[in-house]
Structure 1
Amino acid sequence: MQDGDTLLGILQALANPHRLRIIAALHKQGRNYVSQMAREAGISRPLLYLHLQKLEEAGLVRSALELSSDGKALSYYELAPFTLTLTPETIAGAAASLSDTKPAKR
């Protein structure tokens, strides 16, 4: 079971349609480099990097920098192994371990 802060980070990372599409594309196509992913997603590389950074911080993707045959540096991304199970019990357990236990004021 994930602690509350980890679960919150994962849920925040997944709360964006671009990030869901990135995960879906990596699941379908496997490992890919940023320029190709940006072309396929129809978004700029800087925006893609922003989304990939959020996903990587949440532990959902991982990256590697590699040199191509012509000497260019390519940033590759792939899915990290993860399983996310949400039930009332897992949410209650995660909530109990949040570092900020005070509910937000509205």
Structure 2
Amino acid sequence: MSLPMPTGDGLVLALATLANPHRLRVVAALVRERNYVSELARELGISRALLQVHLRKLEHAGLVTSQLELSPDGKAMKFYEVTRFHLDLTPESVANAVRTLSPRQSEKGTP
């Protein structure tokens, strides 16, 4: 599945979410294969708690999805995988996205 070109608000959310090195590493790891939290945390060398914070943000932005599955021994495991997305960043695509910003987003200045 591929996400459509986001609205202005969606573009702000996607870019803000991806503007973190840990989240970029998570996406890169999940491109190779879907994975569950404990294994992914070991692979990336970060705590499960920190990884879960980043996974929630990526999921909220629609960049990853999760699915709860039972292991053969009956343990619940949450698997994550990348949602196919494509962001075409050109001055024109940014101008088009700006036209769809919600009033609240349009009023925010840059930090």
Tell me the TM-score normalized by structure 1.
0.93
* 1:17 alignment partner in structure 2: 21
- Structure 1 runs of 4+ with >3 Å offset: none
How many equivalent residue pairs? 105
Taking the aligned partners of 1:92 and 1:67, their CA distance within structure 2 comes to 46
* 1:49 alignment partner in structure 2: 52
Q: Residue 67 of structure 1: which of 67, 70, 92 is its match?
A: 70
**2:41 maps to 1:35:** no
Query: Once the 2 structures are TM-superposed, how far is the Cα of residue 81 of structure 1 from its aligned partner?
Result: 1.4
* 1:92 alignment partner in structure 2: 95
**2:109 maps to 1:104:** yes
Pair 1:35–1:4, CA change in 2 (3 A): same
Identity over the aligned pairs, expressed in percent? Answer: 57
Partner deviation per Cα, 1:28-70 (whole Å, 9 max, x = no partner):
2x11111000001111111101000111111110000001000
Taking the aligned partners of 2:52 and 2:86, their CA distance within structure 1 comes to 23
Pair 1:41–1:7, CA change in 2 (3 A): same
Taking the aligned partners of 2:110 and 2:90, their CA distance within structure 1 comes to 25
Taking the aligned partners of 1:12 and 1:38, their CA distance within structure 2 comes to 22
Listed as ranges, the gaps of 5+ residues in structure 2 are: none
Structure 1 vs Structure 2 CA RMSD: 1.3
Tell me the TM-score normalized by structure 2.
0.89
